[in-house]
Copies of this chain bind each other. A is one copy, B any other.
Amino acid sequence: MVRLSPPGHGRLEFARTLEVDVGGGEFNVAYGVARLGLRTGFVSRLPDNAVAAIILNHARAAGMDVSAVKLTPPDGVGRRDRVGLNFTEVGMGLRPSVTLYDRGHTAMSLAQPEDFDFEQIFSAGCRWLHTGGVMAAISAQAPAIVERAIDAAKAVGARVSFDLNYRASLWTPAQARAVVTRLMPKIDVLFGNEDAFDKMLGIAVPGARPTAKDFNWEENRNLALAVVERFPHLRAIASSLRAVPNGSVNHLSGLLWYKGEFSTAREYRDLQILDRVGGGDAFGAGIVYGLLNDLSGPDTVELAAAYGALVHTARGDTSQATLREVMHIVEGGSAVIQR
C-alpha gap A103/B53 in the complex (Å): 19
Q: Which residues of B contact A235 (CB under 8 A)?
A: none
Q: How many residues of A contact B (CB 8 A)?
A: 87
Is A19 a contact partner of B20 (Cβ separation < 8 A)?
no
Q: Which residues of B contact A4 (CB under 8 A)?
A: 4, 18
C-alpha gap A53/B18 in the complex (Å): 15
Write the chain B residue with the least CB distance to A273: B93
Q: Which residues of A contact B (CB under 8 A)?
A: 4, 7-20, 49-51, 53-54, 57-58, 60-63, 74-80, 82-83, 85, 87, 89, 91-105, 167-170, 212, 244-249, 268, 271-274, 276-277, 309-310, 312-315, 320, 325, 329, 333-339
Q: With A18-B20, A320-B13, A335-B244 given, is the CB distance from A74 to B50 under 8 Å?
A: no
Is A62 a contact partner of B57 (Cβ separation < 8 A)?
yes
Q: Which residues of B contact A170 (CB under 8 A)?
A: 77
Q: Which residues of B contact A315 (CB under 8 A)?
A: 8-10
C-alpha gap A20/B338 in the complex (Å): 20
Is A274 a contact partner of B102 (Cβ separation < 8 A)?
no
Q: Which residues of B contact A7 (CB under 8 A)?
A: 17
Q: Which of B50, B105, B336 contacts A13 (CB 8 A)?
A: B50
Q: Which residues of B contact A17 (CB under 8 A)?
A: 7, 17-20
Q: A9-B315, A80-B104 are in contact. List 18 more A-B contacts (CB 8 A).
A: A9-B274, A12-B54, A14-B314, A15-B54, A18-B18, A74-B100, A75-B104, A77-B103, A77-B104, A82-B102, A85-B85, A92-B272, A93-B312, A97-B337, A98-B338, A99-B339, A104-B105, A244-B334
Q: Which residues of B contact A248 (CB under 8 A)?
A: 272
